[in-house]
Amino acid sequence: MRITGLKTLSLLCVMTSATSVMADAGKLLATAGLSQIEGSGGGGLVPWATLAGYDTRDETSASVFMTNVDVTDYRLSSIGIASSFYDRVELSYAQQTFHLPVSLNKALGVGEIKQNILGAKVRLFGDLVYSDYPQVSIGLQHKSLDQNTVASYLGAKKDSGTDLYLAATKVHLGLVAGYDLIWNLTARATKANEMGLLGFGGDDNNHYQMVMEGSVGLLLSPKWVVGMEYRQKPNNLSRVEEDDWKDVFVSYNPNKNFNLTAAYVDLGTVATQKDQAGLYLSMTGYLW
C-alpha cells in the first residue's frame, strides 16, 4: 500500500474513534455480515443490505479489514475501514492492489494496479431479522485507478467510475432443519471492467449495464456460517473476456470483535488469463 493510502486509513481511524456512542450488544452475532472486497459491508464478493457493524439506532460502529485473493496467475489484496452510523448510514474506504504476473509485467511494464474505492450505503427500510420483509439498502462505490496504463492499453474509456446498487438481505430463523438461513440479492449498475481494475467502459460498450449478484448462507451455529456467492460481470472490452465470479465460503465469528472468512473462488478468465481460481482469506476487526 502507498504511504498516501496508509495516511488516509489512519485519518479515517482517528475520525471514527472520536465518536462517543459505541455499538454494544444490540444485534445478533454474525448479522453484521463480512467485509466485502470493495469495502462495503456484506459478503466477500457481493455487498449486502447489512451495514458494516453491530450498531443499533442510537449507536455507531467502526471496523477495519484485510483481504487477500490468490488465484492461478494473479493476487489481489484489499485493505480498508468502514463506519456505520445509527443503523442507517455506512461509509467505507478501501484500497486494492492487483499484482500482475511476470509475463504481463514484462509486456506492459506494470507490476501492479492500485484502485481506491469510496463507498456509501443507506438502509431504506426493513430489518435483517425482525421484519417480515427483507432489509433493503441503496449504495454506491466510487472507484479510481492510480494509473491507467493497462486500462488504456486494453481499450477502457476511463480510469474512474461509480457503481450504484440496490440490495435486499434477510435472515430466516430456524428455516433449514432448525438452522438459520441468510440470503441476499443485489442489483448493480456498473461500467467497471473486472471490478474497475481494468478501467471503466470500452469499445464494446460504454453504457451502464445492470448485473445481478447473490449470496446464500447457513448459520451452523452463532459462530459459524457457510455459504456461496455469485456475481455477474459486464463485458465492455473486445480484447478481454470477462467471466462471472463465484465462491464457496466459511466464516468464523468468535465474538463481535473479530471475523475470519475463507473461501474457494472461481473468477474464470481475468485479463486474458483463463481458469483463475484459488483461495480467498479475509479478516475484519470491529473497533467498537
Q: What domains does the chain contain, in order, with CATH numbers?
A: 3-286 (2.40.160.40)
The per-residue pLDDT for 1 is 42
| Grid cell for residue 251 | 466464516
pLDDT digits (tens, 9 = 90+) for 95-127: 999 998 877 766 677 889 999 999 999 999 999
Alpha-carbon torsion angle 64, 118, 167, 14, nearest 10: 40
- Furthest-apart CA atoms within the chain: distance in Å: 56
Alpha-carbon distance 51 to 64, whole Å? 13
86 in the Ramachandran plot: left (φ > 0), alpha (ψ -120 to 50) or beta? left
Question: What integer is the mean pLDDT of 219-247?
Answer: 95
| Grid cell for residue 271 | 485479463
The per-residue pLDDT for 174 is 94
Q: Of 21, 5, 22, 48, whose CA–CA distance to 171 is shortest?
A: 48
Q: Of 96, 68, 94, 46, whose CA–CA distance to 198 is shortest?
A: 96
* Residue 20 reports pLDDT greater than 50: no
The per-residue pLDDT for 104 is 72
* Residue 22 reports pLDDT greater than 70: no
pLDDT bucket at 83, cuts 50 / 70 / 90: very high
C-beta atoms surrounding 10 within 10 Å:
11
Mean pLDDT score across all residues of the chain? 90
pLDDT digits (tens, 9 = 90+) for 140-162: 999 999 988 889 988 999 999 99
Q: Within 13 A of 236's CA, how many CA atoms are on the CB side?
A: 28
Alpha-carbon distance 121 to 91, whole Å? 7
Element (H, E) at 62: strand 60-71
Alpha-carbon distance 65 to 82, whole Å? 8
Higher pLDDT pick, 224 / 31: 224
Residue found by looking up cell 494473479 in the block: 74
Q: Of 182, 158, 181, whose CA–CA distance to 169 is shortest?
A: 182
The per-residue pLDDT for 32 is 87
pTM for the whole structure: 0.89
Question: What integer is the mean pLDDT of 232-253?
Answer: 95
Alpha-carbon distance 119 to 139, whole Å? 7
Question: What integer is the mean pLDDT of 13-32?
Answer: 57
| Torsion angles phi and psi, residue 147, rounded to 5 | -155, 155
How do beta strands 34-35 and 41-42 pair? antiparallel
Residue found by looking up cell 485507478 in the block: 145
The per-residue pLDDT for 26 is 65
pLDDT digits (tens, 9 = 90+) for 251-270: 999 999 999 999 999 999 99
| Grid cell for residue 158 | 476511463
| Torsion angles phi and psi, residue 226, rounded to 5 | -120, 150
pLDDT digits (tens, 9 = 90+) for 67-81: 999 999 999 999 999
